[in-house]
Structure 1
Amino acid sequence: MRIDIEDLHVAYAGRTVVAGARLVAAEGEITGLVGPNGSGKSTLLRTVYRHLRPSAGRVRLDGTDLREVPPARSARHVAALPQERETDFELTVREVVAMGRTPYKRAFAGEDATDRDIVATALSDVGMAGHAGRRFTALSGGERQRVLLARAFAQDPDVLVLDEPTNHLDVRHQVELLALLRAQRRTTLVSLHDLNAAASVCDRLHVLHAGAVVASGRPREVLTPELMAEVFGVRAAVVDHPLTGDPLIAFDHRDPAAPEADRGPDGTEADRGPDGTEAAVASGTGPPGPRRGWRKEWRRGPRRG
């Protein structure tokens, strides 16, 4: 399935957090959202998994406005791993993962053989098969992260929406997770802070800044030294990864280009919405567009397809 986000606006308390975002998550591709803290990544993803309603614009699932799809039906198509994750389940690991089968079950219906096989596969995929009987609350942060990802896999969705899925994971499990996402080839919309991970795993990237999409394209097209300086406020060189050939971003930790990297392009600071989420707010007037001096190709808007 394909996700189309069309002219999306999201506001908190009358202040615009996402402003006119347009992007596509093509079927079978991994589409990444990157950008500084407060750029609107999590807010945009929340509209896709229906935690938030946009104030304008729409999200389309294979051409159908998501607002017209019953929640129970959309849950069979879209599974999410949000940042605000449940941590108080008084359930076993297996029981938490089995919750992913809920959209397919009638009230009070028990598990069948298909459910059990899917849950077992999901646990194996994230390396938690040997922990099925443990209490979720007894797990480490990284282990909980993998269990919640397994729950999303058990939902057997057409679309995965993942908000910082590598948080709390050690290096090995980060690498394994990214390899798993590549192998699954589901339509995936994922936000990542690690730009090198994004360059490695994503087929296409959309860069958000102050609530607007300011660059879109293949990772090698988007992740340039100029964009690193303008959007992230750092000096960087982009070279070929010696093992994979992917773009590899080397940051200059001794001489950053812009000390005020956490500020928006008009100098305003990132703020937070009323639910505690990061939101780029420009004094109540909504986020500005890209700087006029930005390169022309950054201002074309996202490419289709």
Structure 2
Amino acid sequence: MRIDIEDLRVAYAGRTVVADARLVAAEGEITGLVGPNGSGKSTLLRTVYRHLKPAAGRVLLSGTDLRELSPARSARHVAALPQERGSDFELSVREVVAMGRTPYKRAFAGEDATDRDNVARALADVGMAGQGDRRFTALSGGERQRVLLARAFAQDPDVLVLDEPTNHLDIRHQVELLALLRGQRRTTLVSLHDLNAAASVCDRLHVLHAGSVVASGRPREVLTPELMAEVFGVRATVVDHPLTGDPLIAFDHRAPVGTEEPAAIRTAAG
């Protein structure tokens, strides 16, 4: 399934936070949202997993407005890892991951073999196999992050919406997580602060600045020195990664530039 966001506008207390956003997360691809802090990435994602209601525009799931679906039906298709993550579950790791099966259960229904298989597979996928009996509150920040990602995997969704999923993870688990996302080939909409990680893992990028989508396209087309200067206010050059051939952004940490507004909206082909 694919996600289409059409002319989306989101406002808080009368102030527009996201304005007329249009973007696509194609079926089976990883689509990244990048941009400075406060650019609207998390706000946009919250509309996709229905935490926020847009003031205007639509979020379409393969042509169907998500707002037309019941919450349970929507949750069978779209699973989210929000940035505001629960940390006080008085539950075991396995019980937290099993919460991902809720959209498929009737009230008071017990788990079945499918539920158990999904939970076990999700825990294994995030490197937490054999940890199901541990208390969630006893975990480190990185371990909690992996458990909550496993909860999203256990939901068995068509679309994953992930808001900064590599937060709190050490470098090894960041690499493993991003490799896992590529291997799953689910439609994925993900926000990332690390531009080099985004360039490596994402099939397509949308750049947000001050609530607007100012560039869209393949990573190599979007992540240019000019965009780095205009949107992020830094000097940078883009070279080929010596190991993978992906775009690699080298920043000049000694010479920031101004933070002027982007000169124009650019949409790269491809």
TM-score norm. by structure 1 comes to 0.83
Instruction: Summarize deviations over 1:98-123 as a string: whole Å, max 9, x none.
Output: 00001011111111111111100000
User: How much has 1:274 moved relative to structure 2?
Assistant: 31
Please report how far the alpha carbon of residue 276 of structure 1 lies from its aligned counterpart in structure 2 after TM superposition.
27
Q: Is the 8 A contact 2:235 2:257 kept in 1?
A: no
Q: Distance in 1 between matches of 2:257 and 2:203?
A: 32
Contact preservation (8 Å) 2:79, 2:159: yes
Structure 1 segments, 4+ long, off by >6 Å, are 272-278
* Paired residues of 2:232 and 2:259 also in contact (CA < 8 A): no
Query: What per-residue deviation string (whole Å, max 9, x for no partner) do you get for residues 62-120 of structure 1?
Result: 10111111111000000000000000100000000000001011111111111111100
**Contact 2:122–2:150 at 8 Å: present in 1 too?**
yes
Structure 2 regions of 5+ residues with no counterpart?
A: 261-269
- Per-residue deviation, 1:275: 31
Contact 2:126 2:150 in 1 (8 A): yes
SS in 1 for 2:57: strand
Could you tell me how far apart the structure 2 residues matched to 1:148 and 1:186 are? 17
For the 8 Å contact 1:161–1:188, the answer to whether it is kept is yes
The change in CA–CA distance for 1:59 and 1:219 in structure 2 (over 3 A counts) is: same
For the 8 Å contact 2:233–2:259, the answer to whether it is kept is no
Asked if the contact 2:234–2:255 (Cα under 8 Å) also holds between the matched residues in 1, the reply is: no
DSSP-derived class of the 2:143 partner: helix
Provide the rounded CA distance (Å) in 2 between the counterparts of 1:61 and 1:91. 33
Q: Counterpart of 2:88?
A: 88
The CA deviation string for residues 214-273 of structure 1, in whole angstroms up to 9 with x for no partner, is 0000000000000000000000010000010000000001xxxxxxxxxxxxxxxxxx99
Secondary structure of residue in 2 paired with 1:131 = coil
SS in 1 for 2:23: strand
Deviations 1:192-212 (A, max 9, x none): 000000000000000000000
1:196 and 1:88 map into 2 onto residues whose CA distance is: 32
Q: By how many angstroms is 1:130 displaced?
A: 2.2
Q: Distance in 1 between matches of 2:178 and 2:23?
A: 22
Instruction: Find the residue that maps to 1:123 and give its secondary structure.
Output: helix
Q: 1:273 to 1:14 in 2, by over 3 A?
A: farther
Q: From the superposition, tell whether residues 152 and 277 of structure 1 become closer, same or farther in structure 2 (CA, over 3 Å).
A: farther
CA RMSD of aligned residues (A): 4.4
Q: Does 1:233 align with 2:233?
A: yes
Which whole-Å CA distance do the structure 2 matches of 1:72 and 1:149 have between them? 19
Q: 1:51 aligns to what SS in structure 2?
A: coil
The 1:275/1:101 distance shift into structure 2, 3 A limit, reads farther
Secondary structure of the residue that 1:33 maps to in structure 2?
Answer: strand
Change (3 A) 1:196 1:33: same
Once residues 152 and 214 of structure 2 are traced to their aligned partners in structure 1, the CA distance between those partners, rounded to angstroms, is: 30
The alpha-carbon deviation at position 131 of structure 1 amounts to 1.2
> 1:117-132, aligned counterparts within 5 Å?
117-132=117-132
TM-score, normalised to structure 2's length?
A: 0.94
Secondary structure of the corresponding residue to residue 161 of structure 2? strand
Cα displacement string for residues 257-301 of structure 1 (whole angstroms, at most 9, x for unaligned residues): xxxxxxxxxxxxxxx9999999xxxxxxxxxxxxxxxxxxxxxxx
Query: CA deviation digits over 1:106-162, x for unaligned, max 9?
Result: 111111111111100000000011211000000000000000000000000000000
Aligned to 1:107, the other structure's residue is in SS state: coil
* SS class of match (2:19): strand
The 1-side partners of 2:258 and 2:85 are apart by: 14
Partner of 1:234, secondary structure, is: coil
Structure 1 pair 215/165, CA: closer, same or farther in 2 (3 Å)?
Answer: same
Q: Give the Cα separation in 2 of the matches to 1:116 and 1:277.
A: 51
* Distance in 2 (alpha carbons) for counterparts of 1:14 and 1:102: 35
Q: For the residues of structure 1 that align with 2:177 and 2:202, how far apart are their CA atoms?
A: 13
The offset of 1:59, in angstroms, is 0.4
Tell me the SS of whatever aligns to 1:130: coil
For the 8 Å contact 2:231–2:259, the answer to whether it is kept is no
Instruction: Give the superposition deviation at 1:43.
Output: 0.1
CA contact (8 A) 1:25 1:31 kept: yes
Native 8 Å contact 1:12 1:274 kept in 2 = no
Other-structure match for 1:276? 258
**Other structure's SS at 2:130 match:** helix
How high is the sequence identity, in percent, across the aligned residues?
Answer: 91
| Contact 2:199/2:219 (8 A) holds in 1 | yes
Kept in 2, the 8 Å contact 1:9–1:20? The answer is yes
**Cα shift at 1:189:** 0.2
